[in-house]
Structure 1
Amino acid sequence: RQALLDQPQLQPSLFETADVDEWAELDGQTQVDLAVQTRGWEMEKAEVGTLLELARSTEAQGTDAKAEAMLELIYKLQQEENDPELKVLIFTEFVPTQTMLADFLESRGFSVATLNGSMDLDARTRAQQAFSRDVRVLVSTDAGGEGLNLQFCHVVINFDMPWNPMRVEQRIGRVDRIGQPHVVRAINFVLEDTVEHRVREVLETKLAVIAEEFGVDKAADIMDSVEAEPLFDELFVQSLQNPDAIETECDAVLLELRSTIAESRKSEELLPAAHELDADDARKWRDHPAQFWLERAITTGLPARGGEAIKDGEAWRVRWADGSESAKVCFDARTAEEHPDVEWVTLEDPRARAVIGELPRCVPELPVPIVRISGLPDTVSGVWSLWEISLSADDYSRRRFLTVFINEAGRTFLPTAKRIWDLLLTEQIELTGTSIMENADGWFDRSKTAALAQGEGVFAELVGEHRTRIQEERERAQYAYDARNKAIGRIGLQNVRDYRRKRLKADHETRMAQLDAAEAYAPDLNAILMLRVGEEKADAS
């Protein structure tokens, strides 16, 4: 860069060879090349010279002090755990830093593997397998660490800290998984007595309250989202520029996050707040047939959707419908515990939901399974059904589920329907046959009528939630627009600043138009499952 700045050719206007519209089409390096040829040439020339002097003085001081401190920490951990072969997972933000750390540790006698986002699936798998065997240190970027299951390691060092603190939780989650036999140790490298350190202290204190209120998993899902990332970026930029406003800036960001998390939790959680988990119920789920149904649904349903599932020993090699790949996955808890290097896919996985969400619906005249349910009296006989109430908009979809039970006399019993649902989830189910019921259309129509009556209130709740969400989205969009407009005001080049504001305004208007269109919604009611409980005794017509 200094050599380029020393060249005599100057270009008086940033857009002399590229107008505003063409500017957006240029790659980043070309934009930089044009930008340095403006009136800020001499100023940048001086800044580059200063940076080079600082770099030379730093290099002259010898080995990176932060890397040396990390090395001393690894030695200390080995002594504390009495394990000279202790495995360590190191996270860094930058690939050049990753290369430096790998070279540094290898020169000290450590075997090192690396992972980053540019590696393909096979290379990532080889690195993970090497780390699971004889390699002692894995240095990974955040992109490279996605989807890892490293239960055989329990020490995580965050050499570089991301601005979004919840990404640290995601990093720790790579080792803190089912089958982890040790207490996980996570060490963060942060410079003391800096503005960044102070921001992290304030954030961690306030985020602890949110995590306690909503749960760490739910908080991490929202705070590590694309929508939340700019909020943390802007928080650190504002705090670095105005350290006295750290508390105020943190409160504003956390207020926004709290609202988002509350809305997400309200609409998506599977269990009601008063639901208590029981250890005996959990053990029943360990081998529950729902896990094996999921495996069959995924592995047989993927080919029709452009994916593929190939059995590989105890696991599956999967290419999902979106084109992503998983080298080793399983669908049941027992296999996940016995093989910690295998990714466990559950009903909560969005890739699994995308597949099972397209399964055929229950329709009249299909054969109906006849079941006997442990814990249900033999006197209970009739038709049980599961219904899905959904509300769909352009970019929004929410679902609720209803259970319906109609006895042989044609009467509807809500408590019995819920009781059967609970037993289906926890007890042994015996399939005694299938039947095309007499007057099948009548049973289906009565069940649908009952579902419509019960679902009216549920659908009203969905509509209310949808309208509230749209309003909150508008407020978030306005907040993001104001924050980014303020950030653009700090750009020194007038032409670039005007162009960025023009683009920002256009994007904001597009987003608001999308939200206006998203207010329209479509209701739907579908039968998911219908079962004959007990033998058919008589026509209920």
Structure 2
Amino acid sequence: EVLEQKLAVIFEEFGIDKTGDVLDSAQAGRMFDEMYLEAILNPEKVEESVDSIIARLQDQVREARTTASVLGATEDLEPGEAQRLLTHPLPYWVERMTVSYLKAHGGQAERKGQSWNITWPDGEIYTNVIFTGKEAERFPTARHLTLEEPRIRGLAMRLPRFAPGQPVPVVSLPGVPKEINGVWSLWRIAITTMEWNRRRIMPLLLADDGRVFMPTARHVWDQLLMASPKVCSILDTQVSQIAYAQMHKAAEEQGKPIYEALVQEHRARIAREREKADYAFAARRKTIERIGLPQVRNYRLALLAQEEKTFQQQIEERAHVYPEMVALLMIRVEGDGDE
């Protein structure tokens, strides 16, 4: 039991792959045989013997991992990718999200030169706030808000849902051709398991003639992020309910490939977990089978079989997924033709 507990620590620290390689070696087998012999001859020194074996195993695992990191394949650095990350508009989106939220929920956002003074709805005040990395370099004393900030991350993670029957606003949006008229919506498609979840966001535009325009939906999304839409009116309740029902049906059809891709990704992840676990159990089984004493060997094999059975039950439970499709936003778009 002492050995199993300490081996579990090694598995947790170094992972199954490298630890399994070491445990499957002939040298490890000899070490375990020596330890069991020492435990029989000198029971009072069993913990010292276990500690010695564990220390030697840790050294071997570290060496194996170091070798892999030195000889393993490395990807070429791509300056273009680095430049893309530096110019990504995420900080601007975070700024837009924060300022819009404050204005809509009773807070305040006041521009002061290059920074903001913001007041949260609960009265907490942030002064001298900036959002971009370039601004942070220019103004090192300013407060740089990113998604690492709990309040900001909370805005992004706790997106409100658009409920059936909720009034749909009619929006005039610069940058959208005037012939584009229809209902635009944003959907979250996700799968959830006991300990894992993945989600995708899908924009959707359903034109008045019943056609679905996916590229135009993405363009409208971009314009919503860059331009300032104007709310012209609100659809009445009955018309809003009809619009939601039509959009929900279209979202189910257009979102099916996205859902199937998420499921496939999850199945691949489960398959990788099974493969790693099978390798680890096989390595441990070979090690146990080298034990000379039949009673000890059979006892250890029985424990391993029970552990493997428990793992298989757990992996089967994790294989089940729960689908989700939620409307996050819905508006009627009327292009104003301005480019």
Q: Which amino acid aligns with 1:291?
A: E
Residue of 67, 72, 94 corresponding to 1:206: 72
Residue of 197, 215, 230 corresponding to 1:432: 230
Distance in 1 between residues matched to 2:290 and 2:125, nearest whole Å: 55
Q: How does 1:431-470 map to 2 (within 5 A)?
A: 431-433=229-231, 435-438=233-236, 439-470=239-270
> What's the TM-score once normalised by structure 1's chain length?
0.40
Q: How does 1:119-518 map to 2 (within 5 A)?
A: 196=63, 200-208=66-74, 211-212=75-76, 283=87, 285=89, 288-293=92-97, 311=125, 313-314=127-128, 332-333=132-133, 336-337=136-137, 338-339=139-140, 345-346=146-147, 356-425=156-225, 428-433=226-231, 435-438=233-236, 439-485=239-285, 504-518=304-318
Deviation at 1:453, TM superposition (A): 1.4
Decide whether the 8 Å contact of 2:175 with 2:335 is kept in 1: no
Q: Which residue number corresponds to residue 39 of structure 1?
A: 42
Q: Which amino acid aligns with 1:359?
A: L
Deviation at 1:404, TM superposition (A): 1.2
1:386–1:199 Cα change, 3 Å: closer
Deviation at 1:513, TM superposition (A): 0.4
Residue 421 of structure 1 aligns to a residue in which SS? helix
Q: How does 1:6-25 map to 2 (within 5 A)?
A: none
Residue 161 of structure 2 aligns to a residue in which SS? coil
Decide whether the 8 Å contact of 2:185 with 2:204 is kept in 1: yes
Decide whether the 8 Å contact of 1:371 with 1:429 is kept in 2: no
Decide whether the 8 Å contact of 1:372 with 1:429 is kept in 2: no
Residue 288 of structure 1 aligns to a residue in which SS? helix
Q: Which amino acid aligns with 1:394?
A: M
Which 5+ residue runs of structure 1 have no aligned equivalent? 1-19, 29-34, 49-160, 165-195, 217-275, 301-307, 316-329, 537-541
Deviation at 1:372, TM superposition (A): 4.5
Decide whether the 8 Å contact of 2:183 with 2:333 is kept in 1: yes
1:484–1:436 Cα change, 3 Å: farther
Q: Larger RCO: Structure 1 or Structure 2 (Cα < 8 Å, ≥ 6 residues apart)?
A: 2
What CA RMSD, in Å, does the superposition of the two structures yield over aligned residues? 5.2
Distance in 2 between residues matched to 1:526 and 1:461, nearest whole Å: 17
1:312–1:353 Cα change, 3 Å: closer
**Deviations along 1:352-409, whole A, 9 cap, x unmatched?**
7677444321123334455444432233232211112222233332222322112344
Decide whether the 8 Å contact of 2:127 with 2:143 is kept in 1: no
Distance in 2 between residues matched to 1:292 and 1:207, nearest whole Å: 40
Deviation at 1:283, TM superposition (A): 5.0
**Deviations along 1:149-168, whole A, 9 cap, x unmatched?**
xxxxxxxxxxxx9x77xxxx
**Deviations along 1:186-226, whole A, 9 cap, x unmatched?**
xxxxxxxxxx4x86355323141xx44xx89xxxxxxxxxx
Distance in 1 between residues matched to 2:253 and 2:163, nearest whole Å: 19
**Deviations along 1:400-423, whole A, 9 cap, x unmatched?**
232211234443222311222343
Q: How does 1:83-94 map to 2 (within 5 A)?
A: none
Q: How does 1:521-536 map to 2 (within 5 A)?
A: 521-534=321-334
Residue 228 of structure 2 aligns to a residue in which SS? strand
**Deviations along 1:297-339, whole A, 9 cap, x unmatched?**
79x9xxxxxxx99656446xxxxxxxxxxxxxx8654554444
Q: Which amino acid aligns with 1:524?
A: E
Q: Which amino acid aligns with 1:474?
A: R
Count, aligned residues? 274
Distance in 2 between residues matched to 1:486 and 1:342, nearest whole Å: 57
> What's the TM-score once normalised by structure 2's chain length?
0.59
Distance in 1 between residues matched to 2:244 and 2:187, nearest whole Å: 11
Distance in 2 between residues matched to 1:412 and 1:484, nearest whole Å: 56
Distance in 1 between residues matched to 2:253 and 2:314, nearest whole Å: 33
Distance in 1 between residues matched to 2:223 and 2:275, nearest whole Å: 43
Distance in 2 between residues matched to 1:375 and 1:535, nearest whole Å: 7
Q: Which amino acid aligns with 1:479?
A: Y
Distance in 1 between residues matched to 2:155 and 2:293, nearest whole Å: 49
Decide whether the 8 Å contact of 2:194 with 2:318 is kept in 1: yes
Distance in 2 between residues matched to 1:505 and 1:435, nearest whole Å: 67
Which 5+ residue runs of structure 2 have no aligned equivalent? 10-37, 52-58, 106-121
Distance in 1 between residues matched to 2:136 and 2:302, nearest whole Å: 51
Of 409-418 and 447-456, the range deviating more from structure 2: 409-418
Q: Which residue number corresponds to residue 323 of structure 1?
A: none
Q: Which residue number corresponds to residue 320 of structure 2?
A: 520
Deviation at 1:440, TM superposition (A): 0.8
Decide whether the 8 Å contact of 1:386 with 1:527 is kept in 2: yes
Deviation at 1:430, TM superposition (A): 0.9
Distance in 1 between residues matched to 2:208 and 2:235, nearest whole Å: 12
Distance in 2 between residues matched to 1:372 and 1:280, nearest whole Å: 31
1:44–1:454 Cα change, 3 Å: closer
Residue 216 of structure 2 aligns to a residue in which SS? helix
Distance in 1 between residues matched to 2:123 and 2:290, nearest whole Å: 51
